[in-house]
Structure formats: structure tokens, C-alpha cells
Structure 1
Amino acid sequence: MQEGRPYYPTNFPMIQSIAEAVTPARKRVLIVASPIWEESAAKILKGVAQYQRGENPWDTYWDNEGLSLEDPSWFESGRWDGVISRHTNALQVRSCASAGIPLVDVNNAQPFADVPNVALDNTAVGRLGGEHFIDRGLRNFAFCGFANLPWSCERCAGFRDALVTIGLSSAIFETVYPNYYTQEVTPGWHSAEIAAIAAWLVSLPKPVGVMACNDFRALDVLRAARDAGLRVPEEVAVLGANNDEARCELAIPPLSSVVTNHLRSGYLAAEALDRLMHGRPLEGLDLCVDPVEVITRHSTDVLAVDDRRVSAAARFIQQNACRGVTVDEVCRHAGIARTQLEEKFRRHFARSPQAEIRRVQLGKIKQLLQDTDLTLNAIADLTGFAHPEYMIVFFKRATGESPGRYRRKLRF
């Protein structure tokens, strides 16, 4: 058996033949996802596994090196009933179409015609990033991405949309990303990018919040800030996207990032492929995946408010909103009249102190729904609601869905 190639035994035990006579044959599925490029591969696979567990699970083969992307013979053998690909390319699309193999694309890039594409809502990813910086009182914003990658452009558009709502705009740094597969991403190209980003950062008004199109690009921004002698997050707050946890935690300083829901991407891809393999239509299946939240690490841990009392009020809300704090308590802590706090809060954060309390509570509810199995009663108690019914009504008004539905969507 050649290493890295699929192996199919031909001598099956008699007991397997008997079993296949009384149970439906398992679907044979090829999954193409490389964990070397990004952590999302493991999460996508976990989502696929969550879906296909049941009475008749699939026989799956994981092409973790992407060998099938360059070798059409993988699809000529007739061994596959379906394919899920994280790194879909034109050769793979042609090969699957020629062999009549259903293909589902989980690549967050330009979709191929007639190939179902499970895609992240990139506009929403960018919007979350913009809101994250607004929540920190920043008034200078910038986006660093790639002009030739549609998903990067969509994230940039969402970032700018969030700023338009409060009458602000963003500086943009975009270059053309070279072809990775033809090895045009060289050390020389990368060094030139870092130098150009550093010069751009120096030119921006400070303090500034810079969102990068993904965590890889955010690491470039962090490196450029260090080379330029700029302090992160005091002068330049940096936010990535996709929450590639190992890279975010290893960054200096640790990198804040928008969490994208690759677990759900894998689950939806499996559901779509299952329908296709059984000849069922995809109508009614929403293949767009919303982002989850922003994980705040040191790179954006800043509150850019020059008014001492407003800053004290904002920090007090952050620390106490989930114990049911009132606006009057906030005013007493900060030593400011309520009418003054209302006016200053709207000027700095584009919302009222009460809205800020609710925003913090909502974020905590979402985090507990995602990360724990706590009951709604327990979550209500931990987020400052006297009765779970009040929390459920509040959550549904704020998000458009019930806490239970939100939890199920995140996990599957």
C-alpha cells in the first residue's frame, strides 16, 4: 500500500457480506481538509461526525494532505458516494462532475457553479469586529486585508457597515494575495508586506482599532506594530478572525479574534451531502453560517475613553452587569449625575448606560449557552435576571431566536 493513498481491501469476511445483505450499504465519503493550514479542519470534521452518527454511519476517508486536489485518479475509481472539501479547486470540481459524485464545498472562497457551498457570513464577521472596537470607545478604525479575496472584501464591508451606524469611517490597507499553490508567497513578499503595514500603521491617528481579515493577517499586523515601535493595545488594538486558538494564544500579545462556527459548517456540509447522496433537494437548508462572538485577549484589552468618570462607569458595568446592577448604582460608583452619564455614554459608545448593561448581559448569556450545559434557570441566575422567563423574553427580542435554538445552532 502506497503511503498517503486510499487502500481498499478486496477480501471481506463472509460475516460482512451477510451483514450487508440485511443492512443498507454504508455511503463512502471522502473528506478533504488539511489541519496544517488551519485549525478549522478539525472542527469541520467534528461537525461532520456529529451529523453522520446514527444507525447507518458513513465509511469516511480523510485526505488530510490534499492529495486528491492534484490527482483526478482519486475520483475515477468509483469508490466514493460523496465528497466534502475544505480546499475545493477546479480539478476536483471537474473530476466529481465527470464521475457523477456529489461534492459539497466548505471553502470560504468564491463558490463554484452548481456546487453547494457552506459559507461563513463574512459580512457579519466584519460587523462583529467593528462593534467590538466601538464597544471599547475607539474612534479611529482601520482594516487590513486582501483586495483579490472575496471573503476578505466581504469582511471589510461588514466592518465599515458597523462604523457607518455611528457616523464614522475606516482606513483600509489591501494588497493582492499571491497564489499559494504556485509558491508565489515567498519570504521576500512577506517581509515587504510587514514593512508596508508598519508604515501604514505609523500614519494612522491613535489610538486605533485595526481589524485584519483573518488571524494570519492579524499576526502580520502585530509584527508590523512591533517593528514600528507601536504599543499594542494602547496605541494599536488588533483583532483577527476565525479564532485559530493556537496561533492566537502564541501571538505577542495574545490575539483577540472573531469566532467562526466551523463545527456548524461541518454539520451543514454533512447534511447537504446526505441529501444529495439520497437524491433529495437542498431547498430549505440554509448553508450560511453566522459568527459566534469575539474572544477578547490582550491585543484589544483597552478602553479608549479619556473621560475618567465615563471610563469608571463602563468598567463598573463590565464587572457588575450580570449581578443585576442598575444605572443609579453605576452613577453612584462613578460619581456622576444620571443625565450627564446618559449624554456622555451616548457620545462615547453610541448607546445608553442601560443598553450597555443589557449588552454585557447578552454576551454572557451567549457564552454560557455555547460553553456550558447549564439550565436556563442557572443561566438567568448568573446573568442578573430574577426569573428565567424574563431572560428568555429579553434574549429573543435581542437575537430573534430562543436560547434553546441558539444553543442547538452553535453545537450542530
Structure 2
Amino acid sequence: DIAVVINLIGASGRNLLAGVSRYAREHCHWRIHLFKNGGEFSAKVLADIEVTGLDGLIISDDPAPVVRERIKEIGIPVVVIGMGGVWFDGRLDAICSVRNDDEDIGRFGAKFFSSLGRFRSYGYVPCLDRRYWSLLREKGFRSQLRRVKGPDVRVFRHSPDAGAKQDQEELSAWLTSLPKPAAVMAAYDDRATNVIEAAARAGIAMPESLNVIGVDNDELLCDFTSPMLTSIMPDHEALGACAAAQLERLLARTRKPMARTVLVKEKKLVERESTGATTASAHIIERALAFIAQNARRDITPVDVVKHLRISRRLADLRFHEQYGATIAETITRTRLEHVASKLRETDLPIKRIAGSLEFRNVNSLRNRFLACYGMSMRAWRRDHHGAK
């Protein structure tokens, strides 16, 4: 019998449960007792389960201290989703914590903003009660931007005991003070919606003057805001499955040493309107066009361009299409064909020599591309333009 205590209010909790359930269904034969929050997992409930036997616990939402102490007395294997904290006190074995690599989530957010180009300022908005995962995301965000020599990150510090109205007023004033364009990461989606509301209150245009990202990809929240919120999506289902796998190992009582803390790195970005095209996007296009122009005499590909930009191919093509109306591949082809046309106009070199000098490996393919672009063969184009300035 396994007790699973997960707060199911948010999307992340439901995805955690899906991961635990999937792993248990595919690999174990557990009878699961589900508790939708720590409050449900009361001392009385625990006592009732003990009568029939409790073999292990997966928990992400703390119960009352008396319940936690009773779990320690029983000595059953425990997997904590999140920081182990007080669960580790007095226990040397049969316990493990699994959690998202929150510091890496912060770095991931900073890398995404860097891929958009240059912002004049960067900000971080922590959760109101300064949870460990919020602090780690802040640390990763700041350290990554420091590595690329970006501006110092300005962290919003709300007044203690501030109500919702005062928090919004202070947040609006803080956002107004940031040099624009600004890029702000919030600790999680709910806090990011506060940022978007405060920006609207302050009359700050998004995403032209302010880019915002959150964490969790809670679709109900992300799609409800205006503009819709871009969010980093940790793989909470993978986290839940990892928790179940670690509990299975603890139950097997293997003698192999086990890590006390396991970090899950899986995540992706779900891009929406809060980080749409900005003046920062134009910087990406400028860098890409400069690289293509400098290297157009070589057989370069879009892969070479995105390596130079240090962003994903999908994001690079998205920015190109938004700002330039063409893909990277189309831009490379057109630029290289312009060099071909220049040599046809200015030299008497045979077409095969021109192809070789520009690293076109297949002359027939070059002829077909030129015809598609210029509406005439290379020979006809040379006849009409040779010697022209």
C-alpha cells in the first residue's frame, strides 16, 4: 500500500500525479491511497492506513508536523517531491527527494531572453513567500546573465505584509523604473500574471517595451492573460514518474547507494504573445544577415547560422519570418545566388568554375535554383547583364 499526497489545485500537481500513476501502472503493483493535499493526510487517516499496512509514501504537500513525525517513527520509505528539508532530520536511509532543477530553469529563462537580442534591463519577480524554488530560479537567472555580461538583474522586493492592491502598485512602479525594452522572468505563472496586470496598469506596451515569461505553463492562466503568457514548462509528469521510480528502488531495499536528491532537468518553452516580436528581435536578424553576408561564398546552412546565433532553429526561423518575411534557408539561397549573378555579370568564368568557387557542389542544382529565382537560365542572364554595372 502506497500513500500519495499531492496538491491537485494547479496543473503541475495534476501532472505530477499523472507521472506517478503512469509509472506505477507500467512497473509496479501498488494499491495507491490518494490525498489531494497535506491536510487530507491527517493523523487519524494515517492511523487507519497503518492498520492494513502502509509500505511507502510519495509526498509533495506537507501534512501536519505530528503526521510527519509519525512517518519517521514508522520508518517506511519516503520520497519527497521538492526539498527534503525537515523530512531528512533524523533519517539516514529509506528517504529521497526529487525535484525540478530550479536553478537550471532560471538559466533556461535567461538563455531564452538572450536569444531574442539585447534588452536594456532584466528583472526577476519572486514568489511572495520566497520559496526555495523561487530563490534557486532567481540564482540561475542572474548567474546566466552574468556569464553573458548582461546588465545586472533587478529583483522586485515587495513590502512585507503588502496586500494585493499595494503589491500591484509597487510592482507597477518597479516595472516603470526599468529601462526599456525590458525582460522580466517571474518565479511561476501566477506571479507572472501579476506582472502583466501591473504592466497594463502602468501603461507599458507588451511585448514592445516589456517581455515577460513565467514557469509551469498553466494553460488556464497563460491563455487568460492579455497578452497571453509565454511560460517555461517543467516536465512535471516526468518528475512524478521519477518519484515513483525512486520509491520502487527504496522498497526493493537495494544495497546500491542512492542519491539523497535527484534533479529532473526536462523542460521546454511554450511561446505566446508576451514575448512576441520586439526591437530585440531585429538584433537577431541583423546578426544573422551579417553572418550570411560574410560567409555566403561558402556552402553554409541554417545550422551554421543558428550555431552562430546560439538559439534554436525553430526560434530563429520564427524571428526571421516575423521580421524579414523569409526563412533562414531562403535567405541563404538568395544571398548566395546574388554572388553567382555578380560573377556572371563581372567575369567570363565558366559556370562550372563559378559553382566551384562558391562551393556549390551540384551544378545542375545551381542552375535550377538560379532559374527559379531569376526567371531565366544562367547563360541567358549573363548574356543580358554581362558587363553591366
TM-score (norm 2): 0.68
- Code of the aligned partner of 2:101: D
Contact kept in structure 1, 2:84 and 2:97, CA below 8 Å? no
- Alignment RMSD: 2.9
Separation of aligned partners in 2, 1:86 and 1:165: 33
Residue range with higher mean Cα deviation, 191-200 or 273-282? 273-282
Q: Secondary structure at the match of 1:167?
A: coil
Aligned to 1:151: 133
- Check if 1:300 corresponds to 2:278: no
- Check if 1:118 corresponds to 2:101: no
Shift of 1:59: 0.8
Aligned to 1:30: 3
Pick closer, same or farther for the CA change 1:58–1:300 going to 2, 3 Å.
same
Separation of aligned partners in 2, 1:297 and 1:75: 44
Q: Percent of aligned pairs with the same residue?
A: 25
> Deviations along 1:106-133, whole A, 9 cap, x unmatched?
1368563244211111110000111111
Aligned to 2:47: 76
Pick closer, same or farther for the CA change 1:274–1:250 going to 2, 3 Å.
same
Separation of aligned partners in 2, 1:129 and 1:55: 34
Shift of 1:283: 2.8
Separation of aligned partners in 1, 2:101 and 2:135: 12
> Which of 336, 349, 355 is the aligned partner of 2:307?
355
Separation of aligned partners in 2, 1:220 and 1:109: 29
> Deviations along 1:48-91, whole A, 9 cap, x unmatched?
1222224752111211244334x212222313211111212444
Q: Secondary structure at the match of 1:68?
A: coil
Pick closer, same or farther for the CA change 1:111–1:154 going to 2, 3 Å.
farther
Structure 2: gaps (5+ residues): 297-303, 317-389
- Code of the aligned partner of 1:32: V
Aligned to 2:22: 50
- Check if 1:93 corresponds to 2:68: yes
Contact kept in structure 1, 2:238 and 2:266, CA below 8 Å? no
Shift of 1:313: 5.1
- Check if 1:130 corresponds to 2:110: yes
Q: Secondary structure at the match of 1:117?
A: strand
Pick closer, same or farther for the CA change 1:107–1:74 going to 2, 3 Å.
farther
Separation of aligned partners in 2, 1:280 and 1:177: 47
Shift of 1:360: 2.0
Separation of aligned partners in 2, 1:45 and 1:166: 38
Q: Secondary structure at the match of 1:112?
A: helix
Pick closer, same or farther for the CA change 1:363–1:94 going to 2, 3 Å.
farther
Separation of aligned partners in 2, 1:255 and 1:173: 19
Shift of 1:295: 1.2
Separation of aligned partners in 1, 2:227 and 2:83: 27
- Check if 1:172 corresponds to 2:155: yes
Q: Secondary structure at the match of 1:67?
A: coil
Pick closer, same or farther for the CA change 1:358–1:143 going to 2, 3 Å.
closer
- Code of the aligned partner of 1:40: S
> Deviations along 1:14-35, whole A, 9 cap, x unmatched?
xxxxxxxxxxxxxx11111122
TM-score (norm 1): 0.65
- Code of the aligned partner of 1:305: A
Aligned to 1:276: 250
Pick closer, same or farther for the CA change 1:202–1:357 going to 2, 3 Å.
closer
